[in-house]
Chains A and B, each alone.
Chain A
Amino acid sequence: MRIVLFAAAAITLLGFAPATTQAAGDAVVLEQQEWSFDGPFGRFDRQQLQRGFQVYREICSSCHGLDYIAFRNLEAIGYSEDQTKVLASEYTIEECCDDQGDIFDRPAIPADYIPNPYPNEQFARASNNGALPPDLSLMTKARHGGPDYMYGLIIGYEDPPAEMEAEMMDGMYYNTVFEGNQIAMAQQLFDELIEYSDGTLATSEQMALDVSAFLHWAAEPKLEIRKQTGVRVLLFTFIFTVLAYFLKRRIWADVEH
């Protein structure tokens, strides 16, 4: 009985804690997708992550940086070391400086981070009608809904409803998921805009799923090892707890209480 009380108290406190930290206001209901990395044993689908990387590289990367991902990190989504070398060498890095003190260009190596499309924030804003395309490295952890939000946003373009039409600002696009429904980014995904190297048909829904999964990997690259470690740790702790319970019972056997 006391254990039940204890557990109930702990669960109650745990239960209201996450719910209360969510600020009021976000009314959009996100469509839940099925992700391979969901659940206690979830894992990334490497094939999907590679497709997602292709979407990022061929579409998103023209405006969005991925500052925390180095080419070497791509080995984690199934590329070989040689493949990451080839991938990296397609990018150019401005290096400071040679023996004369001059900036020079060199091909990227796996240790380099994926170069940002813009040299600075002002340049990025000037190129995008004043808007700043955010870095995508942590995007799925920086928004409520994570990859579901990501998917909903990039697929969520529609014509504005009649009552919104007058409100739409110049250069803004109607989006069902974005807060305030006006987003500076135009719709980017169209069916078969790119051709997947693994032969999957690149519908806009497929691309949105793949790139959202890829960005979730980029935000939480240790997700797999985290869940795998967790299973072992919890199993150990569970056995420890059961043993501790019976030990306690035995020690207390001679106490009338």
Chain B
Amino acid sequence: MSTEKGWGMRAFDWFEERLPIVSFIDHSVGSKYPAPKNLNYFWNFGSLAGLVLVIMIITGILLAMSYTPHVDHAFQSVERIMRDVNSGWLLRYMHANGASFFFIVVYIHIFRGKYYGSYKSPREVLWWLGIIIMLLMMATAFMGYVLPWGQMSFWGATVITNLFSAIPLIGDEIVTLLWGGFSVDNPTLNRFFALHYLLPFVLVGVVVLHIWALHIPGSNNPAGIDPAPQDKIPFHPYYTAKDMFGVGVFLLAYFTVVFWFPNAMGHTDNYIPANPLSTPAHIVPEWYFLPFYAILRSIDDKLTGVILMFGSILILFVLPWLDTSRVRSATFRPIYKVLFWIFLIDCVVLTWCGAQLPEGLPLILSRVGTFWYFFHFLVLLPVVGWIETPKPLPTSISTPVVPKPAE
């Protein structure tokens, strides 16, 4: 008879022997996952993205209980949620702004990966899964924006689905399939709602793969070198505590917008019910699509514009091979570091251009911006990898290259 274990522990052991789910979680994001000890606060955004996904799924399911996916009732049902459903206004504002914050968090996460070379060997598949997550997010966000059936919902859906008609031979058939008819109408709304409900769960699946792929090589770190075992600390309690603080800071920003500026990131036209007979003066997508929208409109030829727009995302799949430098972190790459910041500014400029009419200065800027976007990936990254002399790498993440002055 064993006396050192209580019955609770024994029951736990009995269960763990049959389904070791607790140790599985502990190995994934717990005390059995060793992480580099030098991760900075930019490493908080992965877990933040996971948090926002959970917020979106919970608020989304609750909203779906009161939403009606029909062209005659959708707009009204959203207003009923805002006015008559208990805390419905809170659910909707959390969900609508949650989409914006999801993209803010994920874009920072991606730029962090780009700065510290997290896409390089051996993390290429991890990077691919991240791009698939972003594409799924974009599809989900686009279809979600259609659901309130306001003016911008309807006309945004019309513009974006029409892009597929540029595909030679089968373009028109694809558009008909997307619409479920010959224009954006009730069948379109129905299938968008069905897919908008489905895709987040697909997203959860790919997130699991993303974390799985992360655990094979482990986390990258600001130094970009493989940490020695003594330079690693268990994820729990160190990074769970750090992430918890990050969650607090994030929620402060998120709640400030939800409670005081809930419509700042939306478009006023979406409070006008959809009217197929009246086109808004300026059709603009949500802010997180603006850089891609600018790339699309930078070229007069529709097919070329569509190819460039999709190409601007798909090119990320081959980024691990376009970047020929074997040094991961931009900290040790003097030329790449400058290029990184120019690229970031380029994306901000393209975002601004996407919100303007494609004429005059915005058009010139979006052409220059689009050129630079591809020039960065296709020419600069391969060439700089060859010609750049990286700074000396530290031998371990505990040994700084420049020794600290004696204290």
Contacts and interface: CB of A to CB of B under 8 A. Distances in A.
B356 A244 contact: no
Contacts of B107: 13
A140 B266 CA distance: 14
B357 A24 contact: yes
Contact of B40 (A2, A24, A25, A73): A2
Interface string A54-91: 00000000000000100001000000000000000000
Interface string A174-211: 00000100000000000000000000000000000000
Interface in A115-168: 137-138, 141-144
B268 to A, nearest CB: 5
A53 B345 CA distance: 49
B37 A10 contact: no
Given A6-B42, A21-B286, A230-B260, A14 B242 contact: no
Contacts of A240: 248, 251
Interface residues of B, number: 64
A231 B89 CA distance: 16
Interface stretch (A28-36, A43-51, A249-257): A249-257
A103 interface: no
A234 B244 CA distance: 16
A5 interface: yes
Nearest to A256: B398
A238 interface: yes
Given A10-B104, A16-B348, A21 B252 contact: no
B241 A247 contact: yes
A40 interface: yes
B251 to A, nearest CB: 5
Interface residues of A, number: 53
Q: Is the interface of B mostly helix, strand, loop or mixed?
A: helix
A9 B108 contact: yes
Contacts of A169: none
Contacts of B258: 230
Interface of B: 37-38, 40-42, 44, 76, 79, 82-83, 89-90, 93, 100, 104, 107-108, 233, 237-238, 241-242, 244-253, 255-269, 271-272, 281-282, 284, 286-287, 290, 348, 351-352, 354-357, 362, 398
Interface of A: 2-3, 5-7, 9-10, 13-14, 16-18, 20-25, 40, 68, 73, 137-138, 141-144, 179, 219, 221-222, 225-227, 229-231, 233-234, 237-238, 240-242, 244-245, 247-248, 251-252, 255-257
26 contacts: A2-B40, A3-B249, A6-B249, A10-B108, A13-B107, A17-B100, A17-B287, A18-B265, A21-B286, A22-B355, A23-B282, A23-B356, A24-B362, A68-B83, A138-B271, A141-B268, A142-B268, A179-B281, A222-B89, A226-B90, A230-B259, A231-B259, A233-B259, A244-B245, A247-B241, A257-B38
